[in-house]
């Protein structure tokens, strides 16, 4: 009995797998194409031949997760809850824009980084997702929009660079020209700032867009907000970004979630401007999306006032930075940035 879901196998692995069943190589390409088109059973893979379909059915599983819930927001965002093996659960989000769709994928159940402003962080860390569990989020979201996902943002639950091996494999599968063939240029990986992971991305890829959740460039405050990461030197972090940019020659997105009264002042803006100097960046301002019960050093967190956001933005722009402000889609279903937090009992 093979316990590994076939959705998490690369074409090369499927070839090996079928070779072990004394099947010909071209069968793997057929199987890979079916899986990436979203097939849910071996029965529908008509060109595989009856005896192979039967053999596969008896020996293997196509997928490893089960859809537990699908919620649609008034603004069109769809939140998907998946139940994984071992009682873990995870959420992923589909964001429509002009007839195209972006899939926001998770890489861990919970998150060890523990940012004080993030619901996922408040759950603690359960485990890393497998490549299959990441690919399956994509396949489910792609099915919800008739195969029209054009972009991926790895901005769901968890810290992608602490599960880079599984993520790399999942993206290899999703971008494979023999399969779904999604463009590598349309993938963005967001990290809270794992320096070793950024260095590894620069060396080994995947060659995706990079977003850094800087949040604030005041090192001391940052260490208190992004608690579980331990002390991170902003100088080392910036050096890692410089090296990544030397290799990839792309703009880096600096995401900063604005927390009312905490990281929205002139000092924060100045520190961010200094951090961005020497890098090609676009700053993405994300007004904090409310999560009940979260606080920072004894005070409940609140979204920034409009005037705070406007002030912060002006400060950055007048220093010559490119700034965008993140949409808040998915809020009505707690599917916006930082609001994801499926718990093991969501499968009702």
What residues are labeled active site?
Answer: 91, 337
- Rounded CA separation 343/123 (Å): 8
- 229 contacts ligand SAH (rule: CB under 6 A): no
Distance of CA 81 to the CA centre of its chain: 14
Residue nearest to ligand SAH (CB): 338
Nearer to ligand SAH, 36 or 334 (CB): 334
Taking CB under 6 A as the binding criterion, the range among 77-85, 93-101, 173-181, 185-193 that sits at the site for ligand SAH is: 185-193
- 257 contacts ligand SAH (rule: CB under 6 A): yes
- 113 contacts ligand SF4 (rule: CB under 6 A): yes
Min dist. Cβ of residue 219 to ligand SAH (A): 17
Total binding residues toward ligand SF4, as defined by CB under 6 A: 13
Selected from 209, 255, 268, 308, the binder of ligand SAH by CB under 6 A is: 255
Pairing outcome for strands 89-97 and 100-104? antiparallel
Selected from 91, 140, 159, 255, the binder of ligand SF4 by CB under 6 A is: 159
- 153 contacts ligand SF4 (rule: CB under 6 A): no
Residues in CB range of 147: below 8 A, 6 or more apart: 37, 38
Taking CB under 6 A as the binding criterion, the range among 118-126, 139-147, 178-186, 264-272 that sits at the site for ligand SF4 is: 118-126
- The footprint of ligand SAH on residues 143-162 (CB under 6 A) is 155, 159
Total binding residues toward ligand SAH, as defined by CB under 6 A: 18
- 192 contacts ligand SF4 (rule: CB under 6 A): yes
Taking CB under 6 A as the binding criterion, the range among 3-11, 24-32, 311-319, 337-345 that sits at the site for ligand SAH is: 337-345
- 114 contacts ligand SF4 (rule: CB under 6 A): yes
- Rounded CA separation 212/150 (Å): 22
Min dist. Cβ of residue 88 to ligand SF4 (A): 15
- Rounded CA separation 199/210 (Å): 12
Q: Which residue has the tokens 């002390």?
A: 231
- Residue 114 interacts with, from ligand SAH, ligand SF4, none (CB under 5-8 Å by kind): ligand SF4
Residue nearest to ligand SF4 (CB): 121
Nearer to ligand SAH, 28 or 252 (CB): 252
User: By the 8 A CB rule, do 282 and 251 touch?
Assistant: yes
Residues in CB range of 142: below 8 A, 6 or more apart: 38, 103, 148, 149, 180
Binding residues vs ligand SAH (CB under 6 A): 117-118, 155, 159, 190-192, 213, 215, 255, 257, 286, 288-289, 291, 337-339
Binding residues vs ligand SF4 (CB under 6 A): 111, 113-115, 118, 120-121, 157-159, 192, 213, 338
């Amino acid at each position: 009995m093979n316990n590994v879901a076939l959705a998490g196998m690369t074409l090369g692995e499927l070839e090996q797998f079928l070779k072990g069943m004394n099947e010909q190589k071209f069968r793997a390409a057929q199987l890979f194409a079916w899986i990436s088109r979203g097939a849910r059973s071996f029965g529908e893979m008509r060109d595989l031949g009856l005896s192979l379909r039967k053999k596969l059915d008896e020996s293997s599983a196509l997928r490893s997760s089960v859809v537990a819930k699908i919620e649609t927001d008034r603004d069109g965002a769809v939140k998907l809850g998946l139940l994984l093996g071992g009682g873990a659960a995870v959420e992923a989000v589909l964001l429509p824009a002009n007839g195209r769709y972006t899939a926001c994928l998770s890489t861990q159940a919970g998150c060890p980084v523990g940012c004080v402003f993030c619901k996922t962080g408040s759950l603690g860390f359960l485990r890393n997702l497998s490549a299959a569990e990441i690919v399956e989020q994509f396949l489910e979201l792609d099915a919800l929009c008739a195969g029209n996902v054009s972009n991926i943002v790895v901005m769901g639950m968890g810290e992608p660079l602490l599960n880079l091996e599984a993520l790399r494999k999942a993206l290899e599968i999703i971008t494979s020209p023999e399969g779904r063939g999604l463009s590598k240029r349309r993938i963005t990986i967001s990290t809270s700032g794992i320096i070793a992971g950024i260095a590894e991305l620069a060396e080994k890829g995947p060659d995706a867009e990079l977003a850094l959740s800087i949040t604030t460039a005041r090192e001391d405050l940052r260490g208190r907000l992004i608690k579980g990461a331990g002390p991170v030197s902003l100088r080392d972090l910036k050096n890692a970004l410089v090296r990544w940019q030397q290799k990839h020659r792309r703009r880096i997105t600096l995401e900063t979630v604005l927390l009312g009264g905490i990281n929205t002042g002139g000092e924060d803006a100045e520190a961010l401007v200094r951090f961005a100097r020497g890098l090609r960046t676009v700053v993405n301002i994300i007004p904090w999306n409310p999560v009940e019960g979260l606080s920072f050093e004894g005070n409940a967190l609140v979204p920034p006032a409009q005037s705070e956001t406007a002030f912060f933005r002006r400060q950055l722009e007048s220093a010559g930075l490119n700034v965008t402000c993140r949409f808040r889609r998915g809020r009505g279903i707690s599917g916006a940035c930082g609001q994801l937090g499926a718990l093991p009992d969501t499968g009702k």
